[in-house]
Amino acid sequence: MVFLLTVATPPEEEKMDALLAALAAGEREALAGLYEETRTPVYAFAFSILKNHTDAEDVLQDTYVRLYHAAGSYRPEGKPMAYILTVTRNLCYQRLREHSRRPEALPEELEGLPETATVEDRVLLQACLDRLTDGERQVVTLHAVAGFRHREIAALLGMSLSGVLSRYHRAIHKLRQLCEGGTV
Amino acid sequence: MNHHEAESRLRRAYEHATPDALEAIRAACSQTKGERIIMTNKRKKFPWTKLLAVAAALVLVVGAVAGLGMYRRSRPTTTVSLDVNPALSISLNKDETVLAVTPRNEEARAVVGDMELAGNDLTLVVNALIGSMLRQGYLDDSHNSILVSVEDTDARRGEALQKKLAGQIDGLLHTDTLDGAVLSQTVDAADGELKTLAEKYGISLGKARLIQQIVAQDARHTFDELVGLTVHELNLISSDGTGSKLETVTANGTASDKGYIGVEAAKTAAVFDAIGDTEPQITWLDAVEMDYENGRMVYEVEFAVMGVEYDYAIDALTGAVVKKETDTDNEDDRRPATTTTGKPSSTTTAGKPTSTTAAGSAAITAEQAKAAALAHAGVKAADIRDYGCELDREDGVLVYDIEFSAGDTDYEYLIDAATGKILEYERDRDD
């Protein structure tokens, strides 16, 4: 029997609710716990929108600072991860708006990736930038990394359910080709 | 390889790519200990020399007439107070030489640091203090408001100084990343009630006066409720696109809302909550303004669609719905309003359909694209279900990605958003 070891699993809802509540109660250590639980989905989602590491890293930080300061106003209704990623999403859109006012577009690059990223990882992430459309990349990232259901993705991205489904299938199809084709 | 494995690979790649930013986050959070400030651009520090270049800041200048006194060199004739989050007082003599600088809170102490300011000219001291505030991040493009109050034994001199200071600080804080406004108002320092309020809450006379004005104008607010807000937040809730709403306050420029999600995002959040992902005709009933409700800064979004009026308060930090009111009204025309078709336009490529022609986006509306797709498929709008329309980018071309089902067939169309041409289509019958 082959045992497939996955490095990360999507965060657990109850744990996050508890952490957010603790943060709201003023427990600053909760921030570290929340960060550890949710940093990969937050970074990944930001990266899938902004398409470069530097800006994604900025939004990663800004998300938690904002969560920290807005902690008092968090009400546990709906999914905590959706709440967190809504903050991330809005920060990304804000950044895109700011960039659209200036002539140069956002760089599409992986510059600055930490050493933990292997060559394999880089090739895969670069392929995500090159071969997936924006919609496909965002949908598959939310599904794979944040563990969102298609309906939840639709709500977060403002898409129709059928739109999410078709993008997801196309993205997975392309990803499988990339992984199998020996390019990754 | 199945899709689980492909997802695992992707997840692993992202896991490895995520930087470790916890220390930076902690630092950013504790930088504003005890205050509700978000420093979103911590990396970008303003060089001191640049600050003295062209600038504009938000300056609330309050002139006051204090008691009487003899005009002697060492006798303070004037007090200038600065409020941002740091709060400090500068006492001057008639020659505008600074006699003392008194910090009134922790942040002000940080601003003053170990600068020896007494004995210098007011202009120099103001330069130094503003520069310090900018360097330490108390003033930046997300928090561009500063309150300046002048109390003088001589009313005319006080007003002149007020004007001069406003001009000086106006000129100080204008860089390509910082924009600001100048507010000016007069206050009577002999106002006993004001003094009591200021002392009770431990705030400056000028800030107390500002809050007093806001409360007088809007009965939904209480003094108590607003005392904890920063000068910047107070400015945001007391001004609109055209300037300050307070009669006694003159405003130049606007308080920045860059620390928040922005008007467009707030509009999107409200519309999406009200009617979901459809493309109606929206009538905006009022310009979006910021306010303070339920303990947080919000955007007030009011609109009408399909005969129903909506009044939303959207959390300005997170986009969550704080308050929602609807009013079913079958009358079509009320006050004059701006009308846009479809959802507020977005400059992102996240796939939101838009039918306004923002620069560089679609020339064909989503409605037109839909009509083209339906016509090609030979189906009527009334017969379709599960309709979805996204604006997407395929190989650099802006397209409408349209999907719908009719009968037992699923359709998908890619339509060039600039020309309306059908680029691709698929028909998939259920079997």
Nearest residue of chain A to residue B318 (CA atoms): A87
Q: Which of A35, A73, A125 is opposite residue B13, by nearest beta carbon?
A: A125
Distance CA B411, CA B105 (A): 65
Question: β-strands B281-284, B338-341: how paired?
Answer: antiparallel
Instruction: Summarize the confidence of residues B278-295 as an average pLDDT.
Output: 80
pTM for the structure as a whole:
0.46
The interface predicted TM-score (ipTM) is 0.90
Nearest residue of chain A to residue B402 (CA atoms): A163
Q: Is the pLDDT of residue B264 over 80?
A: yes
- The string of DSSP codes covering A99-139 is HHTSSSPPP-B-TT--TTS-HHHHHHHHHHHHHS-HHHHHH
Q: Is the pLDDT of residue B395 over 90?
A: no
Q: Report yes or no: B409 at the A interface, CB cutoff 8 Å.
A: no
| Secondary structure element (H or E) that encloses residue B124, with its range | helix B122-135
Tens of pLDDT along chain A (184 residues) come to 444 443 445 567 778 888 888 888 878 788 999 999 999 999 999 999 999 999 999 999 999 998 888 877 777 667 789 889 999 999 998 888 877 766 566 677 888 888 899 888 999 999 999 899 999 999 999 999 998 888 788 889 988 877 888 888 889 889 988 887 755 4
Position with higher pLDDT, B98 vs B284 = B98
Q: Do B350 and A133 touch (CB under 8 A)?
A: no
B268 contacts on A by Cβ (under 8 Å): 158
Percent of chain B with pLDDT over 70: 74
Q: Going along B180-279, which residue ranges are E strands?
A: 182-187, 239-240, 243-244, 250-252
A122 contacts on B by Cβ (under 8 Å): 13
pLDDT tens-digit series, residues A46-55 = 999 999 999 9
Instruction: Summarize the confidence of residues B382-408 as an average pLDDT.
Output: 76
Closest CA of chain A from B126, distance in Å: 31
pLDDT tens-digit series, residues B308-347 = 888 899 988 888 888 888 876 433 333 333 333 333 433 3
Nearest residue of chain A to residue B14 (CA atoms): A44
Nearest residue of chain B to residue A179 (CA atoms): B6
Distance CA B204, CA B150 (A): 11
Residue B71: pLDDT band by 50, 70, 90 thresholds? very low
β-sheet bridge partners, residue B239: B244
Q: Do A90 and B265 touch (CB under 8 A)?
A: yes
Q: Is the pLDDT of residue B12 over 80?
A: yes
Nearest residue of chain A to residue B177 (CA atoms): A98
Position with higher pLDDT, A1 vs B106 = B106
Own/partner contacts of B110-113, CB < 8 Å, gap of 24 or more, are B110/B86, B110/B136, B111/B86, B111/B136, B111/B138, B112/B88
Q: Which of A75, A117, A144 is opposite residue B11, by nearest beta carbon?
A: A144
Closest CA of chain B from A124, distance in Å: 7
Best residue in B1, B22, B25 for a mutation probing chain A (most A CBs within 10 Å): B25
Distance CA B100, CA B91 (A): 5
Q: Could you tell me the CA-to-CA distances from B288 to B213, B244, B282, B314 in Å, in that order?
A: 21, 15, 14, 10
